[in-house]
Structure 1
Amino acid sequence: MSVSVGQALGDRYRLVERIGRGGHGEVYRARDESLDRSVAVKVLSRSKHADPRTTGEFHARFDREARVMASLRHPNIVTVHDRGVHGEATYVVMELLAGPDLGTLQRSEVVLPIERVTAYGAQTAAAIEYLHRRAEPVVHRDLKPSNLVLDGEAVKVCDFGIAAVLEPDLTKITRSGEMVGTPVYAAPEQCRGEDATAAWDVFSFGTVLYAMLAGGSPFAGQGGWELATYRVQYEQPAPIAEVRRDVPEPLAELIEAMMAKTADDRPTVSEVRRRLAGLLASESRAATVTRSAPPEPTPPTLARAQLRAAEQLLNLGRYAEADEGFAAVGRSLDAAGYGRDSARFAAEFGRVRAGYARGEGVSCALRLVRLLEHAEQALGPGDELVRALRRFQQARS
């Protein structure tokens, strides 16, 4: 029995439109008529299980894994609401996400900014770590950009159609010895049909990060399924730092370790999560520094630049202009409430020297006495400006 738009699965979930299609089924936007809400319904493909003799076995396996998926509670994992069988159609009901998925995003932008890749990666790593650390660990087995869907700023891991629960006595929908997943994002041992392990997801996740930075999986190309699995197992892709030279060295090293051909050489997803979180924090601090406007210069800081300009006029013998420059500094500092700052006393010292240069020695000597007294009270007898004033006074005595 095939499904179609307008049909109500389980007499509850009315299919509104098909919004996705993959190797393991079709996804529809639907209306939950019982709770009056929009949901996503994935109808699983059963081409490999069409034999009527296996129908009961398939349903039992599907029901076991669907229950596990429905028990997952993590902000970066799609929420599974329900599952069921409608005639020959097996379906899963999930929350409806805003989208797009990272595969669509990548196709529209080709390569993504490093800080966005790191942010998406940190969220994805948190979700995978949650899966791997459960009492019944779950291996996703099909991590790829199209299975990572945006919901606002959040990334949510989706499509658990071929996920494996790592329980020795648990029969799985997809048996050992079969190639599962998407070849250009699959782990080497996954391509060989070996038993699922957490290391599968680490390799796939590393390939996803590589693809987000480089514009596609390094194992993609002409030749189809068999050539893709060969590349994954035996070809070493160019280091991401050579493909894209702005990738930070710590991120490049992490991706290379995640894509190690031997499972034991890969980091755990917990280590990946910690390293990505650290990189994200570093990028955030750097971005804050870059984006932050330089602090507003204080009046004394501005005054010191103006003092240097007045000093140049004084050295050039342009004494009247220098005096006016020093006087302007003094006025601005007084107006800003910095009348006792060292820059204010330096400005007055400049006026005194300009006056001496113009032959106003008597009046300037009296001004110098008052200046030295006030500066010593405000700055202390050991201040460098106070000592300079004292030396100047002694030279003029």
Structure 2
Amino acid sequence: MELAPGMALADRYRLVERIGRGGFGEVFRAYDESLSRAVAIKTLRATEASEAAGKAFLSRFEREARVMASLRHPSIVTVHDRGVHEGVAYVVMELLSGPDLGTVQQQRRVLPAAEVMGYAAQAASAVQYLHGLSEPVVHRDLKPANLVLDDGAVKLCDFGIAAVLAPELTRMTQAGQLMGTPIFAAPEQVRGETASPTWDVFSLGTVLYSLFAGGSPFFAGPDMQESLRRVQFEQPRPLSSWRGDIPAQLSPLVAAMMDKQADRRPPAAFVAQELAAMRDSMNALNAAGSAQLGGAPLGAGSGFGTGFGGGVGIGGMATPPVPDPAAMAEQRIQDAERLLNGGRYADADHDFAEAVKLMKAANRGSDRLVLLAEFGRVRAGYARGDGAASAIRLLRLTDRAEAVLDPSDDFIQTLHRFQAMRR
């Protein structure tokens, strides 16, 4: 059975737009007609489920649904329902406004330290919760792409390869089979050893390193073997050598989390406690500095912020902040994404268009933010049924993106995948 927008699963969940496809699964933006709310639905495509690996993957899919449905934590995506519709297995989840932290980092390579500390503390709290359950859960695929924003909060998603550490459960992978993303995986994970909570601690450390330094220290481009070698044997340079605006305790903590020896890594509970304390200290310092500088946060104008710039004028008088078009446009895009997720497609299209106008008025019409906003308009158009005009807009957007971006850029690949889904 091929799923498509307009169909209703279980006579209740109306599919609105396909927002993801990969491997065996698809993710749709949908509408719960029973409770009148927007939701996300993850499905297992029946055409691929019939292949040789289908039964094993169905078992894994059911396991993901069961694991996720049992979790209750503010930093973990909530599962509402699960079922099977005409041979298609599905899980109904809360719809997050997004984007994920991987996308955020692509847009703004270097993120403010205080912002990352907020994300880090929330993610660590989620991992602490997973490891503290009566039957501990190891996520096994912690990476920026699986940490999704929702109105400023971070939520951990995608438990497709999670391991429940209960003796009566059979391991879903065989020895030597890698499950997870290599550049964020623990050394013993890439060797195919038995899952352990220490895997997640290592991965979380690598995620934090990546968010602060601008990328995973183990990334070796297309050379997967080199990435695997770096994970197992190469010690990254201290995080403090990349950033001078981070808490003094953070660099040694991340180094301990990324220790090659699993038994030397701190437990998730300790990590969560330390990160929360550092976050609170940074927030207190910023609040104190803001009061002293008449409302300007510490570090304003340092090159790491993305909001409004400001300064101190003659005689110590604070100069009026000058609106940053990119920050204003980015806020418009975030607002538009929330409207799109809520089914308000015309309003979302309007806000995406306003973001484009802001950038063009500042003579920045070729910036990446403009491409992102234009892609939002394409998705809003498809969502409200304006397929013909949206297809033309998508073709023009792809041509523009290919003219200004590197062919290997993730955004271009996203556009190509989006086109392929609508053929």
Residue 5 of structure 2 aligns to a residue whose secondary structure is: coil
Matched, 1:291 2:290: yes
Check conservation: 1:13, 1:30, Cα contact below 8 A: yes
Tell me: CA distance 1:9–1:224, structure 2 relative to 1, closer, same or farther (3 Å): farther
Residue 212 of structure 1 aligns to a residue whose secondary structure is: helix
CA shift for structure 1 position 218? 1.1
Give me the TM-score of the superposition, normalised by structure 2: 0.65
Residue 292 of structure 2 aligns to a residue whose secondary structure is: coil
Identity of aligned residues (%): 56
The 5-angstrom pairing of residues 324-335 of structure 1 reads: none
Q: Distance in 1 between matches of 2:69 and 2:240?
A: 39
Check conservation: 2:48, 2:54, Cα contact below 8 A: no
Q: Distance in 2 between matches of 1:221 and 1:52?
A: 32
CA shift for structure 1 position 52? 5.9
CA shift for structure 1 position 80? 0.7
Unaligned runs of 5+ in 2: 295-423
1:64-118 CA-to-partner distances (Å, cap 9, x unmatched) read 4422310111111100112223345332211001111111111111011111111
- Look up the match of 2:125: 126
- Look up the match of 1:14: 14
CA shift for structure 1 position 240? 1.4
- Look up the match of 2:104: 105
1:113-168 CA-to-partner distances (Å, cap 9, x unmatched) read 11111111001111110110001111111111111111112111111111111112
- Look up the match of 1:369: none
Moved more, 125-134 or 237-246: 237-246
Q: Distance in 1 between matches of 2:203 and 2:48?
A: 24
Moved more, 240-249 or 274-283: 240-249
- Look up the match of 2:38: 38
CA shift for structure 1 position 169? 1.4
Q: Distance in 2 between matches of 1:78 and 1:16?
A: 20
Count of residues paired in the alignment = 294
Tell me: CA distance 1:227–1:69, structure 2 relative to 1, closer, same or farther (3 Å): same
Q: Distance in 2 between matches of 1:46 and 1:272?
A: 41
Q: Distance in 1 between matches of 2:22 and 2:58?
A: 20
Q: Distance in 2 between matches of 1:115 and 1:24?
A: 37
Moved more, 18-27 or 35-44: 18-27
Q: Distance in 1 between matches of 2:203 and 2:23?
A: 17
The 5-angstrom pairing of residues 280-359 of structure 1 reads: 280-293=279-292
**Larger relative helix fraction:** 1
- Look up the match of 2:416: none
Check conservation: 2:44, 2:61, Cα contact below 8 A: no
Residue 267 of structure 1 aligns to a residue whose secondary structure is: coil
Greater gyration radius: 1
The 5-angstrom pairing of residues 378-397 of structure 1 reads: none
- Look up the match of 1:165: 164
Check conservation: 1:183, 1:191, Cα contact below 8 A: yes
What CA RMSD, in Å, does the superposition of the two structures yield over aligned residues?
2.4
Check conservation: 1:177, 1:195, Cα contact below 8 A: no
CA shift for structure 1 position 274? 0.8
Q: Distance in 2 between matches of 1:48 and 1:173?
A: 19
- Look up the match of 1:233: 232
CA shift for structure 1 position 181? 0.7
Q: Distance in 2 between matches of 1:58 and 1:294?
A: 57
- Paired amino acid for 2:142: L
Moved more, 169-178 or 190-199: 169-178
Check conservation: 2:76, 2:126, Cα contact below 8 A: yes
Tell me: CA distance 1:82–1:176, structure 2 relative to 1, closer, same or farther (3 Å): farther
Unaligned runs of 5+ in 1: 296-397
- Paired amino acid for 1:97: L
Residue 274 of structure 1 aligns to a residue whose secondary structure is: helix
- Paired amino acid for 1:117: V
- Paired amino acid for 1:32: D
Q: Distance in 2 between matches of 1:229 and 1:78?
A: 30
- Paired amino acid for 2:18: R
Check conservation: 2:6, 2:16, Cα contact below 8 A: yes
Check conservation: 2:60, 2:160, Cα contact below 8 A: no
Tell me: CA distance 1:24–1:149, structure 2 relative to 1, closer, same or farther (3 Å): farther
CA shift for structure 1 position 226? 2.9
Residue 119 of structure 1 aligns to a residue whose secondary structure is: helix
Tell me: CA distance 1:159–1:45, structure 2 relative to 1, closer, same or farther (3 Å): farther
Check conservation: 1:111, 1:212, Cα contact below 8 A: yes
Moved more, 118-127 or 239-248: 239-248
Q: Distance in 2 between matches of 1:127 and 1:254?
A: 18
1:167-187 CA-to-partner distances (Å, cap 9, x unmatched) read 121135444542001111111
Check conservation: 1:100, 1:149, Cα contact below 8 A: yes
- Paired amino acid for 2:15: L
- Look up the match of 1:333: none
1:268-323 CA-to-partner distances (Å, cap 9, x unmatched) read 1101001101111211221121011379xxxxxxxxxxxxxxxxxxxxxxxxxxxx
The 5-angstrom pairing of residues 80-229 of structure 1 reads: 80-229=79-228
CA shift for structure 1 position 34? 2.5
- Paired amino acid for 1:258: M
- Look up the match of 1:4: 4
Tell me: CA distance 1:94–1:253, structure 2 relative to 1, closer, same or farther (3 Å): same
- Paired amino acid for 1:102: L
Check conservation: 1:102, 1:145, Cα contact below 8 A: yes
Matched, 1:262 2:288: no
Check conservation: 2:61, 2:160, Cα contact below 8 A: no
